[in-house]
Amino acid sequence: MHLSKTLTILAGSAWLASAAPSAGLSKKSDVRLIKTSPEDPGTWVTEDEKITLTAQGKNFVDITDITDPEVLALLSAPDSEEVTIAARAVTYPTSATRQSIANPLLSQVSTTNPQSWLKTLTDFHNRYYRSSYGTQAGDWLFSTIKTVASPNPAITVTKFTHSYNQPSIIVKIPGNSSSLVIVSAHYDSTAGSSTARAPGADDNGSGVVVLLEALRILSSTKFSPKNTLEFHFYSGEEGGLLGSAAVFSSYKSSAKPILAVLNQDMAGYSPSGKLAVYTDYVDSSLTAFVRVVAGAYIGATNTDKCGYGCSDHASARSNGFPAAYVGDETIKDSTPYLHSDKDAYETIMWPAVLRHSKFVLAFLVEASYI
């Protein structure tokens, strides 16, 4: 993590007129083009400068490899606009209706496995997306996911490779429909430099183990969804949403029928004891459905805004897919150890991880029947 009306994209959109921010900018060697706000035309920065921005708590999106004018236009769309492409607009339920299916599954959620998984994740020196440690963490995560998914042979686990070494990982539970419901979490970490110790316990090892726990239960019970379910584990989020940008670019090109993307970034530090639902740069209808599910299964939620490009839901949004974002706490009460070597295993509040695991599992069950 860095800290409605439906829009039909038209070639003549005012945003499209400024959709190629690199056009008037002079490129230096070994630099990347980033945006820090919808209005920002783009700035060339070095990798070290990106790391410094993250350490300063400044959000950005790396747009160097984005060539789709529609995506660039939506990255310049203000927060006030609903940018889900009209053909992908979804009508979400206004109440939870699958408790008889979900509750027996939720009773199986525990923190036993998440504690073990998170200990291993945080034992890597860091999970920086361009380091050998980050690649090793990706290899371990891929192997672990395959083990977790193994009780159900219908589940597929694949690596989505990038121009850098750390892969993203995609898990698919096939349903009766090709329509997709996606839950996501990034697994890379950062703490001020490419070589710094960055255990990334809350950001975002906690989100990773929440998804793993939901996958464990759905796999072991051989849950058969109506809609196809996918679990996305992104690399390169701390580098400017790189992994998710590439994945959703591919999905847009393939015209994947995505019903919902729920991003989970930070799930292990919550003094309030309430899940936080973020309301900026998201699909408002999907976010309302997120609140419905949370209210039915885990209780009241907090509300906050996290700013431009704060996590991977922004990549789904900029490709025109309905996206929502939940975290463990509001910004002002979130972990004080973010992006430091103190974001350690020992700081995790396990009741928060348990709460998020139940929520994500409930969301998957409810959304699988949209």
In this model, does residue 70 exceed pLDDT 50? yes
Number of Cβ within 10 Å of residue 197's Cβ equals: 18
Q: Are residues 34 and 178 in the same domain?
A: no
**Domain encompassing residue 68:** 16-74
Active site residue 123: no
Domain-located, residue 3: no
In this model, does residue 28 exceed pLDDT 60? no
In this model, does residue 24 exceed pLDDT 50? no
The CATH number of the domain holding residue 93 is 3.40.630.10
Q: Are residues 115 and 244 in the same domain?
A: yes
Measuring CA to CA, how many Å separate 286 from each of 5, 264, 341?
13, 14, 35
Q: Are residues 26 and 102 in the same domain?
A: no
pLDDT digits (tens, 9 = 90+) for 342-366: 999 999 999 999 999 999 999 999 9
Domain-located, residue 5: no
Q: Are residues 59 and 197 in the same domain?
A: no
With residue 183 as reference, give the H or E element that holds it: strand 177-186
In this model, does residue 229 exceed pLDDT 50? yes
* Average pLDDT for 124-128: 99
Which residues on adjacent β-strands are paired with residue 261?
A: 182, 323
Active site residue 237: yes
pLDDT number for residue 30:
84
Q: Are residues 283 and 143 in the same domain?
A: yes
Measuring CA to CA, how many Å separate 232 from each of 42, 288, 339?
28, 22, 22
Average pLDDT, the chain: 92
Q: Are residues 69 and 173 in the same domain?
A: no
Structure tokens given for 34: 């980033």
Residue in 62, 213, 230, 238 annotated catalytic: 238
Active site residue 47: no
- Measured between alpha carbons, how far is 107 from 1 in angstroms, rounded to an integer? 30
pLDDT digits (tens, 9 = 90+) for 147-164: 999 999 999 999 999 999
Cis check: omega of the bond before 59, within 30 degrees of 0: no
pLDDT digits (tens, 9 = 90+) for 187-223: 999 998 999 999 999 999 999 999 999 999 999 999 9
Active site residue 329: no
Predicted TM-score (pTM) of the model is 0.93
- Measured between alpha carbons, how far is 189 from 191 in angstroms, rounded to an integer? 7
Q: Are residues 105 and 169 in the same domain?
A: yes
In this model, does residue 26 exceed pLDDT 60? no
- Measured between alpha carbons, how far is 345 from 206 in angstroms, rounded to an integer? 9
Q: Choose one of 74, 99, 118: the last residue of a domain.
A: 74
Q: Are residues 93 and 68 in the same domain?
A: no
> How much of the chain, in percent, has pLDDT values that exceed 70?
91
Measuring CA to CA, how many Å separate 335 from each of 1, 52, 122, 344?
12, 19, 16, 11
- Measured between alpha carbons, how far is 349 from 202 in angstroms, rounded to an integer? 9
Active site residue 238: yes
Domain-located, residue 11: no
Domain-located, residue 338: yes
Domain-located, residue 171: yes
Residue in 2, 125, 162, 186 annotated catalytic: 186
With residue 293 as reference, give the H or E element that holds it: helix 284-297
Per DSSP, 129 falls in state T
Domain-located, residue 8: no
Q: Are residues 29 and 105 in the same domain?
A: no
DSSP 112-124: HHHHHHHHHHHHS
Active site residue 356: no
Residue in 70, 188, 230, 237 annotated catalytic: 237
Q: Choose one of 54, 74, 94: the last residue of a domain.
A: 74
- Measured between alpha carbons, how far is 139 from 135 in angstroms, rounded to an integer? 6
Give the model's confidence band at 82: pLDDT under 50 very low, under 70 low, under 90 confident, else very high. Answer: confident
Backbone phi and psi for residue 349, each to the nearest 5 degrees, phi listed first: -100, 105
Q: Would you state the torsion angle of the CA atoms of residues 298, 299, 304, 306, taken in this order, to the nearest 10 degrees?
A: 0
Structure tokens given for 209: 């183990």
- Measured between alpha carbons, how far is 182 from 204 in angstroms, rounded to an integer? 17
CA neighbor of 124 nearest in space, from 61, 187, 186: 187
Measuring CA to CA, how many Å separate 285 from each of 15, 82, 176, 290, 320?
23, 9, 24, 9, 14
Q: Choose one of 43, 74, 105: the last residue of a domain.
A: 74
Q: Are residues 63 and 111 in the same domain?
A: no
Residue in 188, 265, 312, 329 annotated catalytic: 265
Residue in 339, 343, 356, 366 annotated catalytic: 339
- Interacting residues of 327 by C-beta distance below 8 A, sequence separation 6+: 1, 264, 265, 266, 267, 275, 276, 278, 306, 334
Domain-located, residue 162: yes
Q: Are residues 302 and 233 in the same domain?
A: yes
Q: Are residues 124 and 21 in the same domain?
A: no
Domain-located, residue 4: no
User: Could you tell me whether strands 302-304 and 258-264 are parallel, antiparallel, or unpaired per DSSP bridges?
Assistant: unpaired
Q: How many domains is the chain partitioned into structurally?
A: 2
pLDDT digits (tens, 9 = 90+) for 312-336: 999 999 999 999 999 999 999 999 9
